[in-house]
Amino acid sequence: MKRKLIYIFSCWLSFLILFVACDDMEDKPFTSSIIGDPTETGTAELYVLCEGLFNQNNSSLARFSFGNQQMVRDYFKAVNRRGLGDTANDMAIYGSKIYVIVNISSTVEVIDFRTGSSLKQIQMLAENGSSRQPRYIAFHKEKAYVCSYDGTVARIDTTSLSIEAITSVGRNPDGICVQNEKLYISNSGGLDYSSGLGVDNTVSVVDIATFKESSKLTVGPNPGKIVAGPDETVYVATRGEDIEAGDYNFVKIDCRTNKVTQCNEKVQNFAIDGDIAYLYNYNYTTQTSSIKMFNLKTEETIRENFITDGTVIKTPYGININPYSNNVYITEARDYTTYGDLLCFNQQGQLMFRLNNIGLNPNTIVFSDKASQSNIDDNDDDTENPLAFANKVWEYRPAPGQFINTTTSAYKDGFTYDEILEEATRRIQQKSLITLGGFGGYIVLGFPQPIPNVTGEYDFKVRGNAYYNSKTGTGKLGGSAEPGIVFVSKDANGNGKPDDEWYELKGSEYGKDTETREYEITYYRPNLANQNVFWKDNKKNEGYILRNSYHNQESYYPLWIEDDEITFQGTRLKDNAVLENGLWVGYCYPWGYADNHPNTKEGSNFKIDWAVDSNGTPADLDQIDFVKIMTAVNQDAGQMGEISTEVTTVENLHFKK
């Protein structure tokens, strides 16, 4: 299962997710629901940015119009017929335009406020073509300033929408604001979290007139969210080197003197309204969250619990203030597996209204006192024909792993195997992530119609969650590849079941010394559920599926399996993950394996012509009815966890409408 570093996500509120590229997240059918009376002072519309799933290209932008009480959940896509991209982090309205920062896609999407149409997609690329990975945006006198993880701030002219200049700041900037004709940029150093460098602890001060860094202020380890405050101040949340230990603080910068003061408040995310700050904190020990009201001038707590009416928010995700009404908006991420909600509270902490099912992981809300002129209706129709995709899970036998017994393994407490299959089918139909666990774990998928073998063409695509790092130590393609071997079968006996012969698709490593054929591994249920899972193989090796602090479910051994031992057989690929400068890089095999290249790349496509029998003889199939995918690497990759192939769906590239 892919993990990512502290710097990747925009979730200030739940830093456990910051380490995981694709955790227990899923889409579900959208059903609009409004609770309460959505009325607002001086506000015509609001926009909600939803970051989606890392590396799944499913960020979205929702629009709610107070005039007609209409929600358009995927507003940008409905207007532009394409998505925003991968992992949208920040958004702002400036002048007549909406600006959206899309981190992994490395773009700034500029949208015409009046029509919702894209005006320009600004590519945030370095001179060598690598992604800068933009993070946050601020504005000053017709210029936009975008900080990026590559240690830079870009100045963009808001008329021409061109990048005018780039300046260097600290390591992995993770926030930006404007105060007193200066830019204040929080340097997280999150990219270096596991390296010898460690996190950064500074805020860069950039003079806007010269666009040069004038000073660096030491504020504390791993600074993130940064906001301009009253009386020429700036506030920043420092997250520390150990997130779970609660080593985060609320820090004040006096911009007149550059004096830095600790406010003795634990805070991960916050919003400021005049002299009042709303401070969010999460306790990893008790697994509870809190939002308090704090007076910035007196540095006294106004209310320990901002919410006064008993409303419960399971997972607060973003905090935003409506500048026209001063109402407080909090987004709810739920369990990161379903569409989140938006809740509006008055300053007395009473819930005024709630908009349910806004989108996946909603983070930023912006408000407008003017209405746009786009009359587009909500359109949740999937542009991809369901006949083109797998629609049934026939078998699902995952090996132990860090995401077993979570929703990513189609599990809920007490589920039987039949219920697991039913839930796995639902997830596949919705293109939600399913993990196969360690080596040998597999899934068998069926389709609404056979997949024909078209000679010379790719016949189907296996979608996973692999992605490329912009730079690897060798320069070769790599990032989060977790390769799985793919098998195909034709319903030769015509009974509609996957009980005919299976044929392996020859990948790039077939017949080479990078694979071990007839490999067998046995996993053993631990005596205590919360222990590491021991394994032995037929090559006289042994080891463990190791537990980690990020996934604390009861057991990593599948709870629905009654046997105390699970044995898998198949072809093992050579370990592909390498530790480089403190970070694990999963290198891609050239072709022919699932979850090995990003879904948009040719390397995720497959040909039925590659099918061979157990003797290596070409199968010569005219079509297939079933696909099996199996994790093919047996490797522990440190902080990344065990190598485990993930699947969201299989696409028939020749389907008939």
Task: Assess whether pLDDT exceeds 80 at residue 353.
Answer: yes
Contacts of 630 (CB under 8 A, 6+ apart): 436, 440, 441, 442, 484, 485, 487, 568, 570, 645
Task: Assess whether pLDDT exceeds 70 at residue 22.
Answer: no
490 neighbors 625 (Cβ within 8 angstroms): yes
Q: What is the mean pLDDT of residues 253-267?
A: 93
Burial, 572: exposed, middle or buried (Cβ in 10 Å; 0-12, 13-18, 19+)? Answer: buried
169 neighbors 152 (Cβ within 8 angstroms): yes
Residues forming a β-bridge with 420: none
Task: Assess whether pLDDT exceeds 60 at residue 320.
Answer: yes
Q: What is the pLDDT of residues 77-105, one digit of tens each?
A: 999 988 898 899 999 999 999 999 999 99
Q: What is the pLDDT of residues 139-155, one digit of tens each?
A: 999 999 999 999 999 99
Residue type at 457 in one-letter notation? E
Tokens standing for residue 271: 């919003």
Strands 442-452, 565-573: pairing is: unpaired
- Model confidence at 595, in pLDDT bands (50, 70, 90)? very high
What is the C-alpha separation between 239 and 188, in angstroms, rounded? 9
User: What is the predicted pLDDT for the residue at 381?
Assistant: 46
- Model confidence at 634, in pLDDT bands (50, 70, 90)? very high
Q: What is the pLDDT of residues 31-81, one digit of tens each?
A: 447 888 888 888 999 999 999 877 677 899 999 999 888 899 999 999 998
Long-range contacts of 163-172 (CB under 8 A, 24+ apart): 163/122, 165/211, 167/206, 167/211, 167/212, 167/213, 168/213, 169/204, 169/206, 169/213, 170/200, 170/202, 170/203, 170/204, 170/216, 171/197, 171/200, 172/7, 172/200
- Model confidence at 335, in pLDDT bands (50, 70, 90)? low
Q: What is the pLDDT of residues 435-481, one digit of tens each?
A: 999 999 999 999 999 999 999 999 999 999 887 876 788 889 988 89
Q: What is the pLDDT of residues 555-569, one digit of tens each?
A: 999 999 999 999 999
Note if the pTM is more than 0.75: no
Cα–Cα separations (whole angstroms), residue 357 to 156, 360, 427: 34, 8, 18
User: What is the predicted pLDDT for the residue at 195?
Assistant: 65
- Model confidence at 287, in pLDDT bands (50, 70, 90)? confident
3-state helix, strand, coil in the chain (%, to 5): 5, 45, 50
The strands making up 351-359's β-sheet, listed across from edge to edge, are 33-36, 351-359, 340-345, 328-332, 316-321
385 neighbors 74 (Cβ within 8 angstroms): no
What is the C-alpha separation between 639 and 194, in angstroms, rounded? 9
Q: What is the pLDDT of residues 474-528, one digit of tens each?
A: 889 988 899 999 999 999 999 999 999 999 999 999 999 999 999 999 999 999 9
User: What is the predicted pLDDT for the residue at 19?
Assistant: 31
User: What is the predicted pLDDT for the residue at 378?
Assistant: 63
Average pLDDT, the chain: 89
